[in-house]
Amino acid sequence: LQSESEEDAPRGTVGCVALDQAGRLAAATSTGGSPRTRAGRIGDAPIVGAGFFADGAAAASSTGWGESILTVQLAARTCAGVGAGFDPGACAGRELDVMNERVRWRNEMASTGGVIVLGADGRGGWGFTTSRMARGGWAQGHHPWSAVDPFSEA
């Protein structure tokens, strides 16, 4: 790839992070895969720490270029930041920036992606370096929300 375009980017991902009434955190990721990859490729989605991660402090689910996400362990890194006390959305953005700075593939393929994250205190956040990312949330006693574009929130 010369560069990423809207038509030539990973898509079809469904990720979820959840906190139950007993305080247990969980993360899950399903993927449509990345374009122009070999048959039989195993991307980041099924790999703990990369495509998803949850521990006692936070849960995260990733989307984007799997090779980049695997390299930096995007979900685990984001959870580590939240576990250290930082804001979930800030951690998501920071770790996506780290991925974009540190991972360089042939032909300058961009290391773009997105991550959603939820802390044990119920605070959630997200970030993405793609042009858009469908996302939504719900918490007990609150209305569900969803958005796609960078600055919109319903």
Largest distance between two CA atoms of the chain: 48
Q: Please give the DSSP secondary-structure letter assigned to residue 48.
A: B
Residue whose Cβ sits closest to ligand ASP? 66
d(CA 94, CA 108): 21
Tokens of 99: 């991925």
As a whole number of angstroms, the distance between CA 8 and CA 5 comes to: 5
Per CB under 6 A, does 10 bind ligand ASP? yes
SS3 state at 18: strand
Choosing from 13, 29, 78, 112, the catalytic residue is 13
Rule CB under 6 A: choose which of 4, 17, 27, 44 binds ligand ASP.
44
Site size for ligand ASP (CB under 6 A):
14
Q: Is 13 a catalytic residue?
A: yes
Per CB under 6 A, the list member of 54, 59, 61, 63 interacting with ligand ASP is 63
Binding site for ligand ASP (CB under 6 A): 10, 13, 31-34, 43-45, 63-66, 69
